[in-house]
Structure 1
Amino acid sequence: MPADATAHIRIARPSRDLQAAEDFWTSGLGLDVLYRYTTDGTDGEHSLLMVGWLDASWHLELVHDPVAPIQPRPTPEDLLVIYLGEPVPDALVERLERHGGKRVPAHNPYWDTWGVTFQDPDGYLLVLSTRAWSSS
C-alpha cells in the first residue's frame, strides 16, 4: 500500500503513568482501548497502551519503560486537535477534568476562540475544536 489518504496513523508518546493516561483518554474523552501490553521491563521491553475509536484511521500509543522511563517533554505547540464541528459539550469538559485533564489557556489564542484546550496527565495538549475540518 502506498502512503496515501488510506494509510493508518499512529501517534506515539511517552507516558509517566499509563493508568492515569488511560483514565483521561478512555473515561474522559471516550476513546477505546485498542491494545495493551504490560511488562516489568525485563529484556528492554516497554509497557504500552493504544487508544482510539474503533473505526478511526488513527490511534494514540502511549509508552512507558518501567526500567528507564522517558519523561514527556511537550511544548505549547504539541497539540492533538479533534474537530467536533459543534460546541464542546459541558458534560465532556467536566468528564475530562474529572478524569485527570486540566483545562488550560492555549498558547495560540486561535484555539481559545475555536475550542477548548486540556492538558493530559503527561502534559500534552488536547484541543477540542468547535470547527469542522475537511481536507478536500
Structure 2
Amino acid sequence: MPVNGRSHIRIARPSRDLAAAERFWREGLGLSVVWRSEGGSEPGHHDLLMLGWPDADWHLELVHEAARPVEPRPTEEDLLVVYADDPIPEDLIARLERHGGKRVQSPNPYWNEWGVTVEDPDGYRLVLCRRAWSNS
C-alpha cells in the first residue's frame, strides 16, 4: 500500500490523566473512543486511549504509563487545528471549558483572528479555525 493523502495519521501524546483527557476530547469536542486498553502497573506497560471521528483519516492517541509516567511538555505552538469552515459555536467553546479546557490567546495573531484556541487538560492546544483548508 502506498503512503499518500489517504494514509491514516495517528497523533500520539503522553497524558498525565487519561480520564480528564477523555472528558475534554470526547465530551467536549465530540470525538469517539476508537480504542482503549489498560496496560497495568508494570514498567513498559501503558494505558492507551485512542479518539477520533468515525469518518476521519486521523486519530489522537493518548498514553499513560503508571510505572514511568511521562510528563507532557507541550509548547504554545503544539497545535491540533480543526478547520471548521464556519463560525465556531460559543456553546462548543463553553462545552470544552466545562470538560476541562481553558480558552487561551495564541502567540500567533492568525489563530486569534481566525479561530479559538483551547488548552486541553495536559496543556496541548486545540485550535478551532473558522476558515477552510485544502492541500490542493
Return the TM-score normalized by structure 1.
0.98
Structure 1 residue aligned with 2:65: 65
Moved over 3 A (4+): none
Structure 2 residue aligned with 1:19: 19
Long gaps (5+) in structure 1:
none
Aligned residues: 136
Long gaps (5+) in structure 2:
none
Structure 2 residue aligned with 1:114: 114
* Partner amino acid, structure 2, of 1:134: S
Instruction: Give yes or no for contact 1:88–1:115 (8 Å, CA) kept in 2.
Output: yes
Structure 1 residue aligned with 2:50: 50
Deviations 1:17-62 (A, max 9, x none): 0000000000000000000011322252110100000110000000
Instruction: Give yes or no for contact 1:114–1:130 (8 Å, CA) kept in 2.
Output: yes
Counterpart-to-counterpart distance in 2, 1:116 and 1:7: 28
Deviations 1:86-107 (A, max 9, x none): 0000110110000000000011
Identity %: 62
* Partner amino acid, structure 2, of 1:89: P
Counterpart-to-counterpart distance in 2, 1:79 and 1:44: 28
Counterpart-to-counterpart distance in 2, 1:34 and 1:63: 14
Structure 1 residue aligned with 2:77: 77
Structure 1 residue aligned with 2:123: 123
Q: Find the residue that maps to 1:106 and give its secondary structure.
A: coil
Deviations 1:61-88 (A, max 9, x none): 0000010000000011110000000000
Instruction: Give yes or no for contact 1:41–1:47 (8 Å, CA) kept in 2.
Output: no
* Partner amino acid, structure 2, of 1:108: N
